[in-house]
Amino acid sequence: MNLTRTVKSRCAFTLLEVLIAIAVFAIVMAAINTVFYGALRLRNRTMAALDESAPIDHALAIIRRDLANTVAPNGTNYPLQTTILSQSQFGQLTPDLYTATGEIDGMVPWGDVQKISYGLVPSADGTSRDLIRLVSHNLLATTTETPEQQWLLGGVRNIALHYFDGTQWADVWDTTTQSNLPTAIKVDLDLTNTLMHMVVALDTQVRTNQ
């Protein structure tokens, strides 16, 4: 009888063994918890950074597309004159650019060439300024057309364009006195917390049917 009881008692866990197992389990769970919440915080920071950069990337992509498709001047048509701002009453800061980024379909009475510029207007809450894209679709209008104002980005302090002639950068350009378009245009975008630069190369050749 005593031998049976001794064998049964040896098959059970002692209180010390249970406490050690609980302690080891707690340490493992604490390590897993640390790794999990570290990964979760990293994910949240990454998503926040992506959410913050997405509007900037979208605005820069639109500006890059506009500049890359700038139409070369043809006589008095499609000039690039940086000293003339035709829509200054709408906050225009950059000169008029004629770009082949318009969509052609059976529902609109104009072609793919449209006049665009960029400007700044006060934000809705009045605490900052918003970057807008001013678009005039009908270039054959006999009366002054009110441009379409497309919102691009908030929290912008300034936007400026600079023009490369193949040798150096200039702040002004006039295709009525210079032979053609600049070889590249640089965009300086001054945001609330950073300054961004983007250079876009232009096709400066005037194309003909020949």
What does the longest C-alpha to C-alpha distance in the chain come to?
117
List pLDDT tens digits, range 40-56.
Answer: 777 777 666 655 668 88
List pLDDT tens digits, range 10-26.
Answer: 566 787 778 888 888 88
Show the CA angle centred on residue 119, arms to residues 136 and 128, nearest 5°. 140
- Order of strands, sheet of 169-170, starting from the edge strand that comes earlier in the sequence: 169-170, 156-164, 184-191, 195-201
pLDDT (0 to 100) of residue 89: 86
Of 15 and 91, more confident: 91
Of 167 and 3, more confident: 167
Residue 181's nearest CA partner among 100, 64, 73 is 73
Task: Summarize the confidence of residues 133-149 as an average pLDDT.
Answer: 83
Q: How many other C-beta atoms can be found within 10 angstroms of the C-beta atom of residue 118?
A: 26
Kindly report which listed range (7-11, 32-36, 56-60) carries the lowest average pLDDT score.
7-11
List pLDDT tens digits, range 108-120.
Answer: 666 688 999 999 9
pLDDT (0 to 100) of residue 50: 58
pLDDT (0 to 100) of residue 194: 86
Task: Summarize the confidence of residues 156-164 as an average pLDDT.
Answer: 93
pLDDT (0 to 100) of residue 176: 84
pLDDT (0 to 100) of residue 199: 93
pLDDT (0 to 100) of residue 121: 92
Sign of CA dihedral 149, 153, 156, 159: negative
Q: How far apart are CA 170 and CA 172, in angstroms?
A: 6
Average pLDDT, the chain: 82
pLDDT (0 to 100) of residue 177: 84
Of 156 and 16, more confident: 156
Q: How far apart are CA 135 and CA 115, in angstroms?
A: 6
With contact defined as beta carbons under 8 Å apart, do 161 and 131 qualify?
Answer: no
Task: Summarize the confidence of residues 167-188 as an average pLDDT.
Answer: 89
